[in-house]
Structure 1
């Protein structure tokens, strides 16, 4: 079974780092530079199993993206993980309340991403990294 992940971040370097981690875990990846681009991709399909979402992006931020995804019943099975520099407890609580499943604060280690994916049961084919 192929696990699909979408990386949503306005930083090309950050998308590259996350893509390297995920492809190493045998995820199939796609990328978007902001929330609206990601919503357009979700609408077009295929719908990913996981979205790694930055908070601060132009056009549509990550928080708005999460609320939009959660408002659409067709996307209720998409796992959402914030990967952001926003480290205030109130922001974390807000994102989780909006529907994010996990929250990773930048900078992070690859192990931190893998650990969160294991918690979510999303390491590819159930094989620990």
Structure 2
């Protein structure tokens, strides 16, 4: 079980237009005591950053209405958000290259397995703890 020694929860932004997928993933994130915000489109995610919200990790679906995940990732990076870990999600197993070229740090095919999520969250916690020194 991933836990943050410093006590501050990992702030996660989950961007997915499919309610069932968002519910399943946010339930998994809760197991790691993440403080999770859900956005249904890439535009909603971008709006949160424009409002000054800060996240440690963004889990972003590829195919969404209004603004897709790739465009959202590019725009988040273009805003200067380089410290946030961005993980692309898709049922398309071949989406690694498009997400990485958009600026994502990683790509995970859906459905995301708990052990994969655990490793990603632990990485974010370790990075967070190292930068707080």
Please, what TM-score do these two structures have when normalized by structure 1?
A: 0.85
Residues 102 and 116, structure 1, Cα contact 8 Å, conserved in 2: no
CA shift, 1:123, in A, is 4.4
CA shift, 1:2, in A, is 2.3
CA shift, 1:96, in A, is 0.9
Q: Deviations over 1:26-68 (max 9, x none)?
A: 1100000010011111111321111100000000000000110
Which residue of structure 1 lines up, in the alignment, with residue 97 of structure 2?
Answer: 93
Which residue of structure 1 lines up, in the alignment, with residue 120 of structure 2?
Answer: 116
Distance 1:24 1:93 in 2: 29
Work out the number of aligned pairs and report it. 121
Which residue of structure 2 lines up, in the alignment, with residue 104 of structure 1?
Answer: 108
CA shift, 1:24, in A, is 1.0
Distance 1:86 1:96 in 2: 14
Task: Output the aligned Cα RMSD.
Answer: 1.7
Structure 2 alignment gaps of length 5 or more? 1-7
Structure 1 alignment gaps of length 5 or more? none
Please, what TM-score do these two structures have when normalized by structure 2?
A: 0.83
Match of 1:71 among 78, 82, 86: 78
4+ long deviations beyond 3 Å? 123-126
Distance 1:117 1:105 in 2: 16
